[in-house]
Amino acid sequence: MFSVSIFVLIKCLKRWSCVLFSIFASQTFQLLLRCDHPSKVLPELYLQRFYPVNKLATLLMIDLAFLRIRPFDAVRTTGFVVQATDEDYYLSGRCNVTCRPLLNNNNLVTLNIHLTDEGRDWYCGYEEHEVKSLLVPFGQPDGTLILTYPMNGCALEVRREKEGNRIYHDHNGVCMPRSIDGTRALRVSANHYMDWGNRHFVRTERLAYRAGLTRKYSGFSFAHTIICIKQGRNWNVYNNAVSQIYELDPFSAQRINQEYFQPKDYIKYSLGYFPD
């Protein structure tokens, strides 16, 4: 009789633990929809209790989920940088996206591209002095990403064709052919994602100097990550920026001692949309 009672008690505890965890997961998802940044969703106590092994990986998964669900808030609070291998960055096609921290900076993450025919998202390649394109068929699910290589002068153009939207990465905005198929649905040039005079990067550089971070630094660069996200009937296009201050090694001329920042002032986060 006593053993039967213990068995019933254990079974009830298991059932209630599943219910409690479901409630926690549901509340977490609802908070994710309402909060300003995903780091506010999972307090340290919950992270240690439910994700003691790989807490960083969990936070990065939340960053990616937050980008899919609340892209406008995500690009304002987190700096995203698209990265691909040397073999993939000039190719185009379906891909899977994973997140990794950029030099252990919690507010800067890389969106790593892995090209695969079974991928959920899409990547448009890049090559100097050329135009790379990608055809994305109609009917993609909400939250799907279209990514391309970071820009600092290139243009993104979308043309509507019979089977889907074709995405173009136009090097320096001057390589598109005069005659091309499809109807233009959207074009985002450097004048759209960069403000006149690059005030956001000038301010970031000035703040870095004031903080004493650039006393030995000799270079400054920047990149914009243009992200297209399927939301309902449209693809919304968002802008994100990351700047880099670095030192040049006197012997190898390689960049060393990099410092990364996410400029947030004077940034136009929403760049428009095009229909599915």
Q: 26-30, 57-61, 90-94, 120-124: which range is least confident on average?
A: 26-30
Task: Answer for the pair 167, 158: CB distance below 8 angstroms, yes or no.
Answer: yes
Model pLDDT, residue 89: 83
Segment 212-239, tens digit of pLDDT? 555 566 677 788 999 999 999 999 999 9
**Distance (Å, whole) CA 200 – CA 214:** 17
Model pLDDT, residue 119: 95
What one-character DSSP code corresponds to residue 140?
P
Residue that wins the pLDDT comparison between 100 and 186: 186
User: Would you say residue 46 has pLDDT above 70?
Assistant: no
Model pLDDT, residue 197: 64
Residue that wins the pLDDT comparison between 49 and 58: 58
Q: What are the CB-based long-range contacts (under 8 Å, 24+) for 117-121?
A: 117/93, 118/94, 119/93, 119/94, 119/95, 120/94, 120/96, 120/144, 121/94, 121/95, 121/96, 121/97, 121/145, 121/146, 121/147
pTM for this structure? 0.76
Model pLDDT, residue 252: 77
Model pLDDT, residue 96: 95
Residue that wins the pLDDT comparison between 208 and 78: 78
Model pLDDT, residue 78: 87
Segment 176-194, tens digit of pLDDT? 888 888 999 999 998 888 8
Model pLDDT, residue 217: 60
**Distance (Å, whole) CA 39 – CA 63:** 8
Mapped onto helix, strand or coil, the DSSP state of residue 5 is helix
Q: 8-12, 40-44, 201-205, 260-264: which range is least confident on average?
A: 40-44
Model pLDDT, residue 216: 60
Q: In what order do the strands lie in the sheet with 155-160?
A: 131-137, 164-170, 155-160, 183-188
Give me 80's structure tokens.
Answer: 């995203």
Residue written as token pair 């960069």: 194
Alpha-carbon 69 to chain mean position: 12
Residue written as token pair 């198929």: 181
